[in-house]
Amino acid sequence: MENLPGACERRFEGVDAFRRIKVAALCFLYVNYINSDQKWENYNCVLCSLDLEETTYHLIFECPFSTRCWNFVGISWDHAIRFSDTIQKARMECQHQFFMEVFVISAWEIWKQQNAQIFRGTQASFESWKSCFARTVKLHVH
């Protein structure tokens, strides 16, 4: 299998195309955040069996499902330090130069897996996330 960081470095030559998804993903993450006080019957994360409230931080950064995704793209989060510092630390430790692009697409696809399970009853899976991640990367290369 092709090395992901190397593949991303070759594929993200057209950064302008990426800016569209970056803005869209950040907007959706923000809307998800401001709507987080909606009155759902169950607030627990649907991507894991930890029976924890689904905060944006848990869903994107701490959830075992998300952790597997982050491991795949070579990004790790230090939960023992402030959030702004963990972003900077992850960026510095990242082995490829497209940290923000990989970060936004990964988070976007994690969020979409969660939404598909809640609203369409589609079982989230790492394989599905990986496939969607690769497809989104390819869409923004051209």
The two most distant CA atoms of the chain are separated, in Å, by: 45
Report the residue number, 86 or 117, with the smaller CB distance to Zn ion.
Answer: 117
Q: Which is nearer to Zn ion, 4 or 124 (CB)?
A: 124
The minimum distance between CB 103 and Zn ion, in angstroms, equals 18
- Closest to Zn ion by CB, 63 vs 75, is 63
Q: How many other C-beta atoms lie within 10 A of the C-beta of residue 49?
A: 10
Binding-site ranges for Zn ion (CB under 5 A): 45, 47-48, 63
Which DSSP letter does residue 124 get? P
Q: What's the closest the beta carbon of residue 49 comes to Zn ion, in angstroms?
A: 8
Nearer to Zn ion, 48 or 69 (CB): 48
Q: How far is the CB of 111 from Zn ion (least distance, A)?
A: 12
Burial class (CB in 10 A: 0-12, 13-18, 19+), 80: exposed
CA distance 67 to 23: 23
**Nearest-approach distance from CB 122 to Zn ion, in angstroms:** 16
Q: How far is the CB of 3 from Zn ion (least distance, A)?
A: 28
Cβ distance to Zn ion smaller for residue 9 or 53: 53
